[in-house]
Amino acid sequence: MKRTDVIFATTLLCAICLSASSWADELTIYPKGGQSPEQQEKDKFECYSWAKNESGFDPMAPPTATEAPPQQQAQRGGVVRGAARGAALGAIIDDSSEGARTGAKAGAAIGGMRRADQKRKQAQAQQQWEQEQQQIYAEKRNRYNKAYSVCLEAHDYAVK
């Protein structure tokens, strides 16, 4: 994996970690049966373990990506490469320095557009990957929260 891919993946996972702490704060738990603080902690841990096994998600574990980020492709095109190709083609077609200059200008423009298009597609693929990873994480966290709530309610707690 390239260094830039690792940086993107790390950034995404850090963002998920920071938002995970806010999800943990979503649930408010009230003992309905007069449970002692010690009993509450025991019940919470028991429900944490059960919900983790039931949902396959551990909110205490650092988030991981389900798949590698999209690979950054080697640069294609570009202004300089396009200009060189255009100049060569222009010189062949027109057989003059003016033809080479005109070809270089056209080649540079086309090469620049090609490179910009490649960058746009790569950025779009990266953004889509990040959104998919966030959605997958949110779905897993939601399944865990539901299982955790069900368990606590079975232990005579109100969960909101």
- Pick the residue with more confidence: 59 or 83? 59
Each residue's pLDDT tens digit, 67-109: 777 777 666 555 556 655 655 555 566 665 666 667 666 666 7
pLDDT band at 22 (very low <50, low <70, confident <90, very high): very low
Q: Give me the residue spans of the domains in the chain.
A: 3-62+74-159
What is the spatial distance between Cα 60 and Cα 42, in angstroms, rounded to a whole number?
17
Instruction: Please name the residue ranges forming H helices in 56-96.
Output: 79-94
Closest CA to 125 of 65, 74, 69, 66: 69
Q: Phi/psi class of residue 34: alpha, beta or left (left: φ > 0; alpha: ψ in -120 to 50)?
A: left
Average pLDDT over residues 45-51: 96
Residue 10, pLDDT > 80, answer: no
Contact 19, 142 (CB under 8 A): no
pTM, full prediction = 0.59
SS (H, E, C) the chain: CCHHHHHHHHHHHHHHHHHHHHHHCCCCEEECCCCCHHHHHHHHHHHHHHHHHHHCCCCCCCCCCCCCCCCCCCCCCCHHHHHHHHHHHHHHHHCCHHHHHHHHHHHHHHHHHHHHHHHHHHHHHHHHHHHHHHHHHHHHHHHHHHHHHHHHHHCCEEEC
**Predicted local distance difference test score (pLDDT) of residue 155:** 95
The residue with greater pLDDT, 115 or 21, is 115
Q: Is the per-residue pLDDT at 34 higher than 70?
A: yes
Banded pLDDT at 154 (limits 50, 70, 90) = very high
